[in-house]
Structure 1
């Protein structure tokens, strides 16, 4: 029975990594679709979000069954409870990627944001992709140094997010109302994607060390 239990715990960890990999692909495709006005790629992201949702739901079911049957304690309990919380954050990251792709689809064949903001969003997208890749590595290794890297990248996205608001609220902004709405929404989606990654980093730190010290 103990060997079966340990195998189930390994499966929980493996499934978290698999979901994180799906999210990494999703945000990479979403940011490309957004920046290049690629409607075909946007449709792919939107369709594939169901895979993330299903994978997260199946992981939650596995974790709940483990809790009910095995009644884990100590670190094993932390693994299962953390997995439930991490899967929820990964599912939300998938949603953020989908929202970014939806903006690209809605505005096709036009670009989502005016030329003056495209460099900012290209940078935000690249940071989100980097964070998603690092998150996969973090879930595989539980290396808390990677959590610190994710936090630092999130700080950069926060600064870019604020710069978007400064731009659209500034006196020199010449965008129309729909440009303001799209830029604000897109910036928020990028920022929230990174925030969920930081939240996962905290949980992995807790899983690895048993310490709930804040990462951010």
Structure 2
């Protein structure tokens, strides 16, 4: 029975990695659709979000069944409970990717943000893609150094997020109301994507070390 239990725990980890892989592909496609006004790619992201949702729901069902049948304790219990919380964060990251793609679809054939903001969003997109890829590796290895890298890149995204607000609220901003709304929404989606990744990184760091990282650390 113990071997079966350990196999189930390994399956939980493998499924988390698979979902994180789907999320990494999703944010990569979403940022490219956003930057290049690629409606076909945007539609792909929107359609594929169902795959992320389904994979997360199946993982949750597996984790709940493990809790019911195996009644794990100590670290094993933390692994299963953390998997449920990580799954929820990954699902939300997929939603953020979908929202970014929806903006690209709605504004097609135009680009979502004015030219003056595009370099900022290009950088935010690149950082989110990098964070997503590092998250996959973190879930595979539980390497706490990767968790720290994710948190550092989140700080850069937060700074870019604030710079978007500085732009749209500044006296030189000449965008229309729809430009302001789209820019602030898109920036918020990128920022929230990274925040969920940091939340996951903290949970993995806790599992690896037993030390909980404070929310504001």
Alignment of 1:19 onto 2:19: yes
In the other structure, the counterpart of 2:55 is 55
Distance 2:205 2:152 in 1: 15
Alpha-carbon separation, structure 2, partners of 1:200 and 1:27: 16
Q: Does residue 1:168 correspond to 2:156, yes or no?
A: no
Aligned to 1:113: 113
Alpha-carbon distance in 2 for matches of 1:213, 1:133: 22
Aligned pairs, number: 216
TM-score, structure 1 length as denominator?
0.99
CA shift, 1:209, in A, is 1.4
| Long gaps (5+) in structure 2 | none
Ranges of 4+ aligned residues in structure 1 off by more than 6 Å: none
Mapped to 2, the partners of 1:125 and 1:111 lie a distance apart of 15
CA RMSD, 1 decimal: 0.7
Matched, 1:126 2:150: no
Report whether the alignment pairs 1:67 with 2:67.
yes
Q: State the TM-score, normalizing by the size of structure 2.
A: 0.99
Q: Distance in 2 between matches of 1:175 and 1:157?
A: 22
- What CA distance in whole angstroms lies between the structure 2 residues aligned with 1:213 and 1:20? 22
- The residue aligned with 1:182 is 182
Question: Which residue does the alignment assign to 2:135?
Answer: 135
Task: Work out the CA distance in 1 between the residues paired with 2:62 and 2:206.
Answer: 21
Shift of residue 53 of structure 1? 0.2
Q: Structure 1: 5+ residue runs without aligned partners?
A: none
Q: The residue matched to 1:180 in structure 2 has which SS?
A: helix
